[in-house]
Structures are given as structure tokens and as C-alpha cells.
Amino acid sequence: MTAPRPDFPMHVSVEQAREMLAALLPATETETVGLSDALGRTLAAPLAALVSHPSATESALDGIACREADTLTATAAALVRLRVVGESRAGVPFTGTVGAGECTRIYTGAPMPPGTDAICPVEELADEGDDVLLRRPASPGDVRPEGGDFRAGDDVMAAGLHLTAPRVALAAALGHRELSVRRKYRVALLSTGDEVVEPGEPLSAGQVYDSNRYGLAAMLRECGCDVLMLGHAPDSPDALHAAIESAGGADLLVTSGGVSMGKYDFMRDLLIEHGRVSFWKVRMRPGGPALLGGWQGLPVIGLPGNPVSSLVVFHVIVRPVLTGRPIQSLTLRAATPFRSLPDKAAFWRGVIDGGQVRDYGRQGSGILRSLSDADALVIVPEGQPVAAGDDVQVVLL
């Protein structure tokens, strides 16, 4: 007799896995946060510029502001002389007008005085009484035009943008003190396995410290999530059932372990019995046995227990969905060959050196040091081996 066909998709691609997870995650409500709490959040509404930046045409350098036309002949051998009639500092503009043959001292970020159109940097000047002598022509290129970065009223930041540090700075420069953002995802995290032990406790042969939960919690926080630590459950359907129930109120439950074919891998059957399986197994290595489903409205992603597998599945499938930021891959030259697999994408750990990427070597999914030591995951599509010297796509770790 053949086994009954499962009524859920198996062996989905990495892209399908991402799409299916995204479809299960609820859109969170919006809330208002101050700029200091905005890092890692997702903008809920577009942000327009309340002011222009720069707010006035200003100097990019310390030096003098003058008329370019007066200075065109200046060289080290034929200095050009200008009369200094005042100064313009950041926050304190020069109030007069600069005429022909005149200049003001000017400092970075100070408004250009009326009548001037060019800057000569302080390094190219010599003082002589009330005059300065220029060794080269003043340059309009060192003037920053008003609104050269953005203009008041411009729509500068789009809704859905993940707020990185530079984007927090930009939001502040636009003039916003508070931002409308999506509520953080609340993600519950559960480790499974009879052998899994809390770090710091005594460890018997055959047991392993719970590295997955701490690694995954750290990655979730990097994604801007609130983490609900459910601790660790032994390999028993009843204990797992109770632990999963305790995730109520979360937007997503992430588990590690118990999703493979072993006799003590209960996650899949529990979901079949009490919830729903969306897919089981992804065409990738490491991480092949990953499982997605739902438990009374709670999306559940079951990551494999192997430490490298769980963190790689998180990196390439879960992180892009939680942050709304697609995976950013870049092309590097392979310094060593990378083998391909016939029916799945490989994510080998690579070390970047001199602009090239080489095989880390020990690629077993239990070698946690490979993730810690490596710089990147080298993506080798199914059936397309990489030779030394080929270009290859990598994702930075």
C-alpha cells in the first residue's frame, strides 16, 4: 500500500515559502512613536518634507564667499585680491550685499550672502590686512542650493519603509518629531527537544544547549519584533500542545526542532490535527524540513532544529517577510567552487576576502561556527554548480 498523499504542498521553493508566510501574517495596527523609538519600525504613512533642506543656499566649506567672475584668473603665481566686508556663519547670515571685488568669510552651513555665487576654501587663501589673496578661482560647486536635498512639500519617504538609522535621520531632517508606524509584530518563540537544555545548566552527553532560541530571539529583535519567550518543550504531543496554546495573542509562533521525519518529530502531525499545514519542506539546504501552518488563527513557522538550518531559514524566509525588506543579494567572484544540489537551492557559508568569496569549508547544518565565522550565504541555484572564477550571488550575514 502506498502512503496517502498529503493535502498540503510539499517541497515548495524559497520564494513560495516567503509568499505563503507573508499571506498568513496579519497587518498590524498603526501607532505613533517618537524619533528615538523609531529604529527598526515600519512607516505606516508616507512622510512629506515640512521644510526644505538646505533651508537656504549655503556653503559646503569654510572659506570666503564671493563672485566667481572676480576670481577666474587666480593662480598661485597671480593671486587675486578681494576686500573682506563681513562674515556669514551657520545660523547667523551676513545681512548686507557683497559687491564686485568684495567677499565675506563664510563657514560650512552658512547662508550665501546676497551678491555671491562661489566659494574659495580657506586652504587656498592668504590673509593680508582687510583683504584675502586667492590662489585659485572660487567655485560655484561648493555652494549647496536651497532644497538640493529635498524641498518642502516633497513626498520623501513611502509608507511601508523599514526605518534604518539613516532613515530615522531623514525623518528628523524632514521636520517630524513623531512618526506613524506599524505596531511591532509580537512573535512567540518555542524550542522543542528532549535533549535541549538552558545554557548554564549542567549538560550530559547527548544534550545540547538551546542556541536556537537565543539566536532566533536576537534575529527577531533585529527585525524590530517584540519577542515572547515560551521557553522549551519536550518531545511530547501534550507538552507541545500546551506550549503552542500559550502563544495566544502573538502574531506569529516560531518553533525550532521536531519538524523532520523522526519518530519524535510531532509538530507537523499536531498542526494537521489541531490546525492546518500550509507547506512542509522547502527546496533548500540547509533548512529543508521547514514547516508552515496555522493554529486557530495563529500562524506557525516550524524551523528545523539543526542550528544552522534554523538560522538560515530565518534569514532567507522569515526576516524578509517580517521587515518587508526583500533579500539584498550582491554579486561576487567565487574564489573556490561551490557545488549545486539537484533539486534544491544551496545556501553555503562563504568567507569574503579581497572582493572574492570562498567556501567556509565545514558546511554541515550542525556546525554553528560556520554561521558565526562566515560573512555571507552563497546562493547556488538548483543544478547550477559554481566554478572558481564564476560570478555568484551572496547574501551578507
Name the site residues for Mg ion (rule: CB under 5 A).
193, 257-258, 305
CB of 259 to Mg ion, least distance (A): 8
**DSSP single-letter state for residue 185:** P
395 neighbors 376 (Cβ within 8 angstroms): yes
Nearest residue to ligand AMP by CB is 305
State how far the alpha carbon of 230 is from the alpha carbons of 111, 270, 276, 298, 337, in Å.
57, 17, 21, 15, 42
Nearer to ligand AMP, 177 or 263 (CB): 263
Residue 315 site contact among ligand AMP, Mg ion, none (CB < 5 to 8 Å, cut-off depends on kind): none
d(CA 346, CA 354): 23
Nearer to Mg ion, 137 or 258 (CB): 258
CB of 11 to ligand AMP, least distance (A): 18
Nearer to ligand AMP, 139 or 260 (CB): 260
Residue 63 site contact among ligand AMP, Mg ion, none (CB < 5 to 8 Å, cut-off depends on kind): none
Nearer to ligand AMP, 262 or 361 (CB): 262
d(CA 237, CA 233): 10
The residues of the shown chain that bind ligand AMP, judged by CB under 6 A, are: 191, 193, 195-196, 208, 210-213, 256-258, 260, 262, 265, 304-307
CB of 390 to ligand AMP, least distance (A): 32
98 neighbors 66 (Cβ within 8 angstroms): yes
Nearer to Mg ion, 137 or 305 (CB): 305
d(CA 71, CA 161): 46
24 neighbors 85 (Cβ within 8 angstroms): no
CB of 197 to ligand AMP, least distance (A): 9
C-alpha dihedral sign at 327, 328, 331, 336: negative
Residue 53 site contact among ligand AMP, Mg ion, none (CB < 5 to 8 Å, cut-off depends on kind): none
Cα angle 232, 220, 328; round to 5? 135
Alpha helix (H) ranges present in 96-135?
Answer: none
Nearer to Mg ion, 40 or 305 (CB): 305
Residue 323 site contact among Mg ion, ligand AMP, none (CB < 5 to 8 Å, cut-off depends on kind): none
Nearer to ligand AMP, 84 or 259 (CB): 259
Residue 41 site contact among ligand AMP, Mg ion, none (CB < 5 to 8 Å, cut-off depends on kind): none
Residue 213 site contact among ligand AMP, Mg ion, none (CB < 5 to 8 Å, cut-off depends on kind): ligand AMP
State how far the alpha carbon of 331 is from the alpha carbons of 162, 245, 313, 390, 396, in Å.
24, 44, 21, 10, 11
SS3 content of the chain, % helix, strand, coil (to 5): 20, 35, 45
Residue 102 site contact among ligand AMP, Mg ion, none (CB < 5 to 8 Å, cut-off depends on kind): none
CB of 191 to Mg ion, least distance (A): 9
Residue type, 77: A
